[in-house]
Structure 1
Amino acid sequence: MEEICPLYYETIKYHPARMVAPPGGHRHFAMAIVGKVKYLGWNNRKTRPQLKRQMPDGSVLAGHHAETHVLYKVPKHKRKYIKLFVMRVTKSGKITMSKPCSHCVESLLTEGISEKNIWYTNHQGEWQCLQDT
């Protein structure tokens, strides 16, 4: 578990502006580790047509979740080797629940990432493996 603790600190060190939550929101971060290379992604509201999806209320969203943002940064031939860690930071700085949504899980599994290699923070700010849920 030592390798996932730096996520929060690397984000602060290299992307301090990313720690600021958008108005009315939280910040989600994802780190994909492939060997010794680390890729960092975060949630944002920029639209991406490939991610367009209809919500139960009929609205249409096309923004990035942290998981899909980081996924597109990793070369396709390396994606099946990803160890993925996802966390959410509230406006007050508390680390809390960041379990990937069903759309993100589907995308990750389609890319060959095993559930045992997908980790997220729970409501207590502790790391939990998707395989264990």
Structure 2
Amino acid sequence: MTNAVAARNKRNKRKGADWEIDFNQGMREEGFDIERLRLAGKDDEGDNVIREDDGYFLVIENKNAKFEPGVFICEMEREAANFAKHRGLDPAKVDGIVVVKRRGKSWRQAFVLTTVERYFELGGEA
């Protein structure tokens, strides 16, 4: 890998981390019980999680990258499952979304992605 490619990758990783932190801090200022999650390689659990008052959790995969909704949703689904598994939680109590940064916009104008199945709580595929 050339030095230019390595430098670009490092900048992009930093931008992604900055976006996660900006989102986390903004949500915390709005009163959400939000926590950043640690990277765990193939066992990653998402970037942030919101603890809800009713014992449910919302795993958030933050993205500051080329818009690839299918790829993002698959990653979120895997990471929400990892979060539940690693904590011995009922997977039905762990939801997930992807929050995608919009170029030139604040965290408040980011896109939120999920599936119809998750949004309307339809359960497994029919």
One fold, TM greater than 0.5? no
Larger radius of gyration: 2
Q: Normalising TM by the smaller chain, what interval?
A: 0.3 to 0.5
TM-score by length of 2: 0.36
Q: Structure 1 or 2: larger strand share?
A: 1
